[in-house]
Amino acid sequence: MSDDTTGAGTDEVRTWLVERSYDSRNLITLVYATPDGERALTRELSASMLDRTPVTAARDVDPDDLAPVEDDDRRERYRTEAERVQENNDPDDEI
**Does 50 or 93 have the greater pLDDT score?**
93
Q: Is 58 exposed, middle or buried (0-12, 13-18, 19+ CB in 10 A)?
A: buried
pLDDT tens, position by position, 33-76: 999 999 999 999 988 887 888 899 999 999 999 999 999 999 99
Start-to-end CA span in the chain (Å): 23
pLDDT tens, position by position, 3-12: 444 544 468 9
